Amino acid sequence: MPRSDRLLELIQFLRTRRRPVGGAQLADEFGVSLRTIYRDIQTLIARGAPIDGEAGVGYVLRPGFTVPPLMFSSDEIEAVVLGSQMVARSADITLTKAARNALAKITAVLPAGRSDEADASGLLAGPISAAVESVNLAPIRSAIRMERKIWISYSDEAGLQTERNIWPILLTFCATVRLLAAWCELREGYRQFRTDRIVAFAEIGEAYPRRRHALVKEWREIEGLSEPQ
């Protein structure tokens, strides 16, 4: 691991600990010598990190310290690049543009010597052949964020169309389809709708009667899905 990455990971490790962590434990965690840990700690302190402690006692990061958001490790840069590529190839036009703009902004303000890492990434998102929607997903994503009900005209596999009022809670982007998880007032239960089968939709202007976080948790329990880590 490059030293710049190790220093960042060291800060992140200390942020998750409330009690002083001994140098030997840190050396074991990062697979380096105790002397290297001592040098790293001094370097971080010299750069302004509020670390208390000393050799033989342990180290603790004082509360309130936040790592600048653009101190990415090499792995994190690659994750951002790959993620933005996947979004750009699988999402609606608005989200695709947002992904490209976000990556450009991040790359532009990376520290000197790091900006080329995004272009030199050895990862590439493959082609995605998702079904084409007849409606724009951006307003649906907005309804999810704002916790608002929507009306949809939906065509099932047999071509039968129904009209429903739903509470949209999650959009899942799969390789070939996109699924909208929602509480369906017509069926009085949770359902997943293929977005390419939504013929039309409109915002109702009403808020959910319950918070989306609670609905998502309930839906995950019913589907037997674990919480994301």
pLDDT tens column, 89-107: 777 788 888 888 888 877 7
Report if residue 219 sits inside a domain: yes
Our count of domains for the chain comes to 3
Residue whose token pair is 């002397």: 35
Q: Are residues 46 and 104 both part of a single domain? A: no
Q: Are residues 40 and 114 both part of a single domain? A: no
Q: Are residues 163 and 210 both part of a single domain? A: yes
Coil, strand, or helix at residue 66?
coil
Report if residue 107 sits inside a domain: yes
Report if residue 16 sits inside a domain: yes
Report if residue 68 sits inside a domain: no
- Residue 168 sits in a domain whose CATH number is 2.30.30
For residue 107, what are the CA distances in angstroms to 6, 115, 129, 134, 202?
A: 21, 5, 28, 34, 37
Report if residue 215 sits inside a domain: yes
Written as six digits, the tokens of 11 are 């800060």
Report if residue 180 sits inside a domain: yes
Q: Are residues 161 and 112 both part of a single domain? A: no
What global pTM score does this model have? 0.63
d(CA 133, CA 156): 14
By C-alpha distance, which of 40, 38, 65, 68 is closest to 50?
65
Query: Is the pLDDT assigned to residue 129 strictly greater than 80?
Result: no
Boundaries of domain holding 35: 3-61
17-21, 127-131, 153-157: which has the minimum mean pLDDT?
Answer: 127-131
Report if residue 69 sits inside a domain: no
Q: Are residues 36 and 112 both part of a single domain? A: no
Report if residue 46 sits inside a domain: yes
**% residues pLDDT > 90 (the chain):** 40
Last residue of a domain, one of 12, 37, 61: 61
* Of 108 and 161, more confident: 161
Give the mean model confidence (pLDDT) for residues 18-31: 89
